[in-house]
Chains A and B, each alone.
Chain A
Amino acid sequence: MIPEIGQFALALALMIAVVQSILPILGAAHGNLLWMRSARASSVAQFVFIGIAFLALMRSFIVSDFTVVNVVENSHSLKPMLYKVAGTWGSHEGSLLLWVLILATFGAGVALLGSNIPDALKARTLSVQAWISTGFLSFLILTSNPFERVFPPPLDGNDLNPLLQDVGLAMHPPLLYFGYVGFSIVFSFAVAALIEGRVDAAWARWVRPWTLAAWMSLTAGIALGSWWAYYELGWGGWWFWDPVENVSFMPWLLGTALLHSAIVTEKRDAFKSWTILLAILTFSLSLLGTFIVRSGLLTSVHAFAVDPERGLYILGLLGVSIGGSLGLYAWRAPAMEGGGLFAPISREAGLLVNNLLLGAATGTVLFGTLYPLFMEAVVGTKISVGPPFFNAAFIPMMLPLVVVMGFGPFLSWKRADLKGIFQRLRFVAVLAGLSGLAVWYLTEGGPVLAYLSVAIAVWLLLATLREWTTRIRLFEVPFGDAMRRARNMPRSSHGMTLAHAGLAVAMLGFIGSSAWKSEEIVFVQPGAEIAIAGFDVRFDGVERVQGPNYVADRGTLTVTRDEEPVTILFPERRFYPVAQSSTTESAIRSTLAGDLYASLAEPASEDTAASGAWTLRILYEPLVNFIWIGAAMLVLGGGLSLSDRRLRVGVPRRAITPAAQATPAE
C-alpha cells in the first residue's frame, strides 16, 4: 500500500508541476498577481508530495519490503540500518527520486524564503523550475518507476554493492546532488531574467545565496567522494579524472566562476550577460553529468545501469532545457550590455581573469572528457584520454589562477594601484619563494613543478592572510581596535579569506600526497618488518572475523617509530556473501603530517593463504589530510558568506532600478 501512495504522490507532484509551469509565468505576462502567487503554494505542494514519495521509498527500504523491485535489487534484510536508508538513493531510480526532491526543495526554498524577490521575477523563476521538474518527474514515472512491484516477492534481496556500504559514501550522493541540482534554481533565475530582459545588481544579489548554497554542497560532496575513494579503494588515490568525476567537477569549476562574476554584477552592474551565461552553463553541465552517468555513453567506473532508451529521454530533456535556454540567451543577451567602467588593473579585471582561467579549464576538462566520443564518431578509432592528459592540461592553467588569487582581494574596484600592492606583497613573495627552496632542500627528488607549486600555494596562503590583516589593520592599530574592525567587517569578507586560504591548504595536500608519497608492496610471513617513511611496521598475521553481513580477514600491523610504539593497524578484506563480492578496508593512521595507510591484498593463491603469508600494501601519504581540511575551509568559508546578513535581509529594493535606468549611463 505504501509504495502505491508513493507512486500516487509522484503523479500528483507531476500534475502540480505542469500547472506551475504555466500559470505563474502567464500571470507574470498578464500582470495577474493571483496567478503569479500560485507559484508559492504549488512549489511547496510539489515539495511535499515528492517528499512523501521519497519517504515511502525509504520506508520500503527500512522495513525490507521485497515486493518492491528496487528494494530487492539494492537491499538485503541483514544490511545495517544506515545502509538500508542509504539504499534509497543507491540505485538509478532512487537517486533520480532524490534528484527531483532536491529540485523541489530549491523551488520551495525560493517560494518560502524569497519574500523580497519581486512577484514577477519569482513567478517566472518558479515556472522555469517547474519546467525542469516536469521533465524529470515524467522521466521518473515513465521510464524509471522506483515503486515497481514484483510478484511473488523473493525471500531476500540482492544487497547493495558492498563498496557503497560506507558512511562517507552514504552521504556523498545527497550532498553532491544538493550541489549540482541546486544550481537549477540559479538556472531558473537566469532564464527568468532573460524572459524579463532585465538583469541588475538586485538580481545578482538574489541569486548569490542560492549559488553559494549549491556550491558549498557540491564542494562537500566532491570532497567526500574523493575521501571515500582514498580510504575505500585501497590504493590511496583521491582523484582519477574518471569521466564521472569530471562531470561533477565541471559544474564546480563553472559554479566557482559564477560565484565570482555574480559579485561583479552585484557590486558594479557589469558582466551581466556573462553571469547569465555562467548560470545557464553551470546547470547545463550538471544535466550533462546526469546524462552521462545514466546513459552509458562513456565508459566509467561509476556509471549506473546502462539503458540507451533512458539516455535518449534525458538527451531530449537536455535538448529542450539547454538548447532552449541558450537559444533564449542568443536572442536576448546582446541587449543586456552596459554598466561598469573599469581600468585594466582593477578588481573587475582580476575577476575577469579568474573567470577566463576557470572557463578555459572547464572547457579543457569537457573537451578531454568528450574527445574519445568525438574521435569515435568522426575518425572511427577509439582512444583514451586519461589522467596524464588532464594533469598536463589542467595544472598549468590552475597555477596562474592561484597566483592571481593572491593579488585579487587587494585590487580595488574600477582602478587599482598595482605598485602599492606589489609593495605590500613583496615580503610575502620572498617568503613563498624561500619556502619552495626550503622544501627543495629538505626533500630528496620530486618534480620541479612540485616545488613551484609549493611556493605558489604558500604565496596564496600568506597573501590571503596579509590581505586580511591589512583590512583589519592588525599591527597598525591597537590589537583591540583591530579585533573590533574584524567583528564589524561583513562576514562575507571573512568567508572569502577562509575559502581562499582553504584552497591554499588543499593545494599543499594535493602536492604533498602526489609528489612525496612513498609506497611498499611486500609479500610477507607473520613476524616480518617493513620500514617506510621512518616507521617500522611489523606484520603479526591475519585472522578471520565475522561482521554483520560479511566475513573478514583482518590483519594486525604493529607500528613503531624509533622503537617507540605508535599504533596498531587492522586492515581488512571483507567478503560479502550475498553480493558475492569483496572490499578492501584500509587501515589508516592519520596525522596532520601525513597518513600511514595499510591495505591487505588478496592471497596470491590457496597455498599461500594456508602458509599465513599475505601481500601488504603500505603507503605513506604526506600532507594528504590537508586536502580535506582545505575542502572543509572552502565549505565553511562559503557558509560564513551565506550567513552574512546582507545576503539575507536588506536586499536593495528593485523599485529604485527603473529610475536608475532613466539616467543616461550609455
Chain B
Amino acid sequence: MRKTLFATLILFILPFAVAAVEPDEILDDPVLEARARDISQDLRCVVCQNENIDSSNAGVARDLRLLVRERLIAGDTNQQALDFIQARYGDYVLLKPPFQPSTYALWLAPGVFLLFGIGVCILVLSRARTRRPNEALSDSEESAVAELLAQENRSDP
C-alpha cells in the first residue's frame, strides 16, 4: 500500500526511486552510523505517508539521510542535527514532537489520564469499602439467598 499510494506522487516528485538506506550512505564509523540511524528514525519523510526517512525510498529522504551524516561528521550532536533539519522543514519532520507549549497537552496527557484513572479507582475503592457495613445479611436474607441458590441448582442440570 505504501507504494501505490504515493505512486501518483512519485511521478512528479521522485528523481529516481532508490532503496532506503543504501550502502554508499553508510559511514565507516559504526558509532556515528548508529547515531545517524537513530536520528533518521525520528525524522519524517516529507513526501511519504507517515514514514521515517530511514525506511523511505524517496529521493528527498535520501538527501536528508546524507545531510544528517554530514552534520554528524562535522561534529554536531544528535540534537543539533535534528535542529538543523527542523529549521528547514519545521516541527512537521520531527516524529517525536518537541516539548513546547503547543505540545504540553500531548506529552502530559498520558500522565493526566493515569492520574484521572487513579482518582476514579480510589473513588470506586472507597465506595466499595464504605458499603462494607451492609455486607452482612440478616438471617431472613440469608435464608432467602439459600433458597434461591437451591432453586438455581435444581433448574441447572
**Which positions in A face B, CB cutoff 8 Å?**
161, 163-164, 233, 235, 237, 240, 242-243, 270, 299-303, 340-344, 348-349, 352-353, 356-357, 359-360, 363-364, 367-368, 371, 374-375, 379, 381-389, 392-393, 396-397, 521-523, 579-583, 601-602, 604-605, 615, 617, 650, 652-653, 656, 659-660, 663-666
In the complex, what residue of chain A is closest to B125 when comparing beta carbons?
Answer: A344
Kindly name the residue among B5, B19, B114, B120 whose own CB sees the greatest number of chain A CB atoms within 10 A.
B19
Known: A270-B128, A300-B50, A523-B22. A602 touches B17 (CB 8 A): yes
**Are B97 and A663 in contact, with the CB atoms below 8 A?**
no
Whether the pair A652, B97 counts as a contact (CB closer than 8 A) is no
- A270 to B116: give the CA distance in the assembly, Å: 20
Other-chain residue from B16, B97, B109, B145 in contact with A367 (beta carbon distance below 8 A): B109
| 19 chain-A/chain-B pairs, Cβ below 8 angstroms | A161-B1, A163-B4, A341-B128, A341-B129, A342-B128, A353-B121, A363-B109, A363-B110, A367-B106, A375-B102, A381-B102, A383-B92, A386-B95, A389-B96, A389-B97, A522-B23, A602-B19, A604-B19, A605-B16
Interface residues of chain B: helix, strand, loop or mixed (majority): helix
Q: A341-B134, A652-B156, A653-B155 are in contact. Are A382 and B128 (CB under 8 A)?
A: no
A393 to B152, CA, bound (A): 48
B94 touching A384, Cβ below 8 Å: yes
Tell me the complex Cα distance, A397–B20, Å.
Answer: 32
Q: Is the CB of A665 within 8 A of B7?
A: no
CB–CB B135/A163 < 8 A: no
Tell me whether A371 and B106 are in contact (CB under 8 A).
yes
Tell me the complex Cα distance, A356–B121, Å: 7
Decide if A387 touches B1 in the complex (CB within 8 Å): no
> Which A residues touch B19, using CB under 8 A?
601-602, 604, 615, 617
Smallest Cβ-Cβ distance to A245: which chain B residue = B50
B114 touches A397 (CB 8 A): yes
How many angstroms between the C-alpha atoms of A622 and B144 in the bound complex? 60
**Also in contact, A379 and B102, with CB within 8 A (given A341-B134, A659-B148):** yes
A353-B121, A387-B41, A581-B7 as given contacts; A364 in contact with B95, CB under 8 Å: no
A283 CB, min distance to chain B CBs, angstroms: 21
Assess the A656–B152 pair: CB atoms within 8 A.
yes
Q: Are B117 and A356 in contact (CB under 8 A)?
A: yes
Partner of A385, one of B106, B148, B151: B106
Closest to A387 in B: B95
CB nearest to B22 among chain A residues? A615
Whether A341 pairs with B132 at a CB distance below 8 angstroms is yes
Cβ-defined contact, A163 with B3, below 8 A: yes
In whole angstroms, how far apart are the Cα atoms of A659 and B149 in the complex? 12
Contacts of A161 in B (CB 8 A): 1, 3-4
- Report how far A664 CA is from B5 CA in the complex, Å: 63
- Which residues on A sit within 8 Å (CB–CB) of B91? 381-384
A453 vs chain B, min Cβ distance (A): 18
Seed contacts A357-B117, A581-B3; 13 additional CB < 8 Å A-B pairs: A242-B50, A301-B51, A303-B49, A352-B121, A356-B121, A364-B109, A374-B105, A382-B91, A386-B50, A389-B95, A602-B19, A663-B141, A666-B131
Inter-chain contact A656/B148, CB cutoff 8 Å: yes
Interfacial chain A residues near B55, Cβ < 8 Å: 235, 237
For B155, the chain A residues whose CB sits under 8 A away are: 653
Evaluate whether A384 and B128 lie within 8 angstroms (CB atoms) in the complex, with A299-B49, A397-B110, A660-B148 already known.
no
Contact indicator A650/B114 (Cβ below 8 Å): no
In residues 117-148 of chain B, which contact A (Cβ within 8 Å)?
117-118, 120-121, 124-125, 128-129, 131-132, 134-135, 137, 141, 144-145, 148
